[in-house]
Chains A and B, each alone.
Chain A
């Protein structure tokens, strides 16, 4: 499996721990399905923990953008946690770093909602 997703609840915030590769195919579609499922269940506060993401391609970035739009349009918030240098650089190059609310530490990310 290219990506592993684990969902847990911290208060009223849903944390999605993402590990592995978010690339075209299995990886990006798994992330998409998980976010849609959470929105469908009415989750409004979603924190994507990308600390263990080893690789993301343009499709993966597209899914982050799509997820952000879907959650925001449903009246919720999607935030990012634990970007490594590679993911951070990609988001900066594509001018998306400032679109997302990015955090380095989980506790403060949770409090920010």
Chain B
């Protein structure tokens, strides 16, 4: 797996946690997807949900690598995936300058429909049960993606 990895993995009584510090590269997007899907598959998600989780993780990682860290070799993406009981959680944090995520354009509006970008966060929200974004005190943005193994 590319990039320096400071890793922690833990499995205990059906719970699992995986943490990594990933380089700001497109290869890290693949790595994160692979890690997340591994945990998700063991958590018991079906193929349809695995596809959704994979896509949401990829979109979030692309945002962190491309827009947050801008491919900087000096910036890392903090990535973690946790499964506990029915809750599957992915957290992705970049070291970028942050952005105004409270005022994102609607990609479904008539004026934005034919734009070539701007659909990533919309897709993440569509595929996950919960999605939150927050500015980090020391800089950067962290997103939290949650999906439940049983319907809530």
Q: Is A96 interfacial (CB 8 A cutoff)?
A: yes
Chain B residues in 8 Å Cβ range of A25: 26
Q: In the complex, what residues of A have CB within 8 A of residue B133's CB?
A: none
CB <8 Å contact, A96 and B116: no
Among A65, A68, A95, A99, the residue within 8 A (CB) of B115 is: A65
The contact of B119 among A66, A68, A94, by CB within 8 Å, is: A94
Q: Contact at A58–B113, with CB atoms within 8 Å?
A: no
Cβ contacts A10-45/B at 8 Å (1 or 0 each): 000000000000011100000000000000000000
Give the distance to chain B from A31, nearest Cβ to Cβ, in Å: 12
Number of B interface residues, CB 8 Å? 20
- B62: nearest residue on chain A (CB-CB)? A24
| Interface residue A57 (Cβ < 8 Å from any Cβ of B) | yes
Contact of A23 among B58, B108, B115, B119 (CB under 8 A): B58
B108 touches A58 (CB 8 A): no
Report the interface size class on chain A. 20 to 34
Beta-carbon contact of A62 and B116 below 8 Å: yes
| A64-113 interface (Cβ within 8 A of B) | 65-66, 68-69, 86, 90, 93-96, 99
- Give the Cβ gap from B106 to chain A, nearest Cβ, in Å: 10
Q: Are B116 and A66 in contact (CB under 8 A)?
A: yes
Complex CA distance for A24 and B113, rounded to whole angstroms: 19
A62 adjacent to B26 (CB under 8 Å): no
What chain A residues lie within 8 Å of B113 (beta carbons)? 95-96, 99
Given the complex of chains A and B, what is the CA–CA distance between A61 and B126 in angstroms? Answer: 15
Chain B nearest CB: distance from A66 CB in Å? 4
B33-70 toward A: CB 8 Å interface, digit per residue (1/0)? 00000000000000000010001001100100010000
Residues of B in contact with A (beta carbons under 8 Å apart): 26, 29, 51, 55, 58-59, 62, 66, 107-108, 113-117, 119-120, 122-123, 126
Q: A25-B26, A57-B62 are in contact. List 10 more A-B contacts (CB 8 A).
A: A23-B58, A24-B29, A58-B59, A58-B62, A58-B120, A62-B117, A65-B116, A69-B114, A93-B126, A94-B107
Could you pull out 8 A-B pairs where Cβ atoms are within 8 angstroms? A24-B29, A24-B62, A62-B116, A62-B117, A65-B115, A65-B116, A68-B114, A94-B123
